[in-house]
Amino acid sequence: MEKPKACFKTSVGGQALMEGIMMRGPEKICVAVRKPDGSIDLSYDQVKRHPWQKIPLVRGAANMIENLVLGYRYLMHSAEISMGEDYEAEQSKFDKWLEAHAGPRMQSFLLALAAVCGGLLAIVLFLVLPTAIVGLIDRFLPLGGFKVVVEGALKLALFVGYLFLCTRMKEIHRVFEYHGAEHKTIACYEAGELLTVENVRTKSRFHPRCGTSFLILVLIVSIVLFSVLPWTSTGLRVVLKLLLLPLLMGISYELIKLAGRYDNLFTRIISAPGLWLQRLTTFEPDDSMIEVAIAAVTPVLPETPEGAAW
């Protein structure tokens, strides 16, 4: 592989897993997971192209669904590899029944369904619940024109509080350390340096094109977008929010895409909340985690840096 000659923006991205990392390049996907014996397991997928990926606004919601499904699948795969023989002992009766009786298509469908249901639960928690709470408060303490402000503050407080509680869990904290390794490795590649543990270690764990940045951007955009919706009925407001959800995802995706491609005052403002929040979702990795990140990203890089240009 030719070494990049200068700093550049890249389309290479990834996801932290249990004792591993998924990296996605222009053509390939690689999942690297640390096995119980210390070796690194590598598995590969091809990146699938879809017509909707070239349609602005539409591609945002479609990409979110695809990433939920793939992310859940890779997370389950990393759990199986990293736990080794302990994985079977930890499986529920339903998991064992599914493996024994359901075909590959049914298993894929159920995994996709679980991922989508998880995404819907997050929508209810961070978009619908604040509206319901504000509607309840307004019955006893009229908020008038401050409803939107209170609703927005509740959204952000719930999201930040949720992430903070996640960091208190040992297993999630390790995943967030792998998240830091993912970011630092991509930053090293974008800086045009050789992918070595020593070089990666010096890079920042914060990156503007991150899932955390996307989620906080979704919440911020939703505050602005939903501010025009009527409060005549809490139920009606919730329904209108759900109908506008694809547009919300589409706008947020285009903004995060701009932030990942350009570096100017506007994109720095867009990136600022996500970069700050990454203090909760990324932590400094150890060298063994960086090794996994390098193993994951190396197979997905194109022959020349131009092939990975954002």
Contact of 143 with 137, CB cutoff 8 Å: yes
Q: What tens digit of pLDDT does each residue of 81-135 get?
A: 988 766 555 555 545 544 555 555 554 555 555 555 666 677 777 778 898 899 8
Instruction: Give me the number of domains the chain comprises.
Output: 1
Q: Is residue 64 assigned to a domain?
A: yes
User: Domain containing 108: what range?
Assistant: 13-298
Residue 174 within any structural domain of the chain: yes
Residues 126, 252 contacting (CB under 8 angstroms):
no
Q: Please report, rounded to a whole number, the percentage of residues in the chain having pLDDT higher than 90.
A: 41
CA-wise closest residue to 65 among 122, 16, 26: 122
Residue 304, domain member (yes or no):
no
Instruction: Decide if 260 is inside a domain.
Output: yes
Q: How confident is the model at residue 57 (pLDDT cuts 50, 70, 90)?
A: confident
* Stretch 210-224: mean pLDDT: 89
- pLDDT tens digits along 259-298: 878 888 999 999 999 999 999 999 999 999 999 999 999 9
Of the candidates 303, 304, 301, 273, which has an alpha carbon nearest to the alpha carbon of residue 26? 301
Alpha-carbon gap, residue 111 to 120, rounded angstroms: 14
Nearest to 73 by CA among 40, 14, 114: 114
- Kindly tell me if the per-residue pLDDT of 190 is higher than 80: yes
Whether 6 is covered by a domain: the verdict is no
| pTM of model > 0.95 | no
Q: What is the mean pLDDT of residues 186-208?
A: 94
Longest dimension (CA), the chain: 66
7 located within any domain: no
Per-residue pLDDT at 2: 40
Does 25 reside within a domain?
A: yes
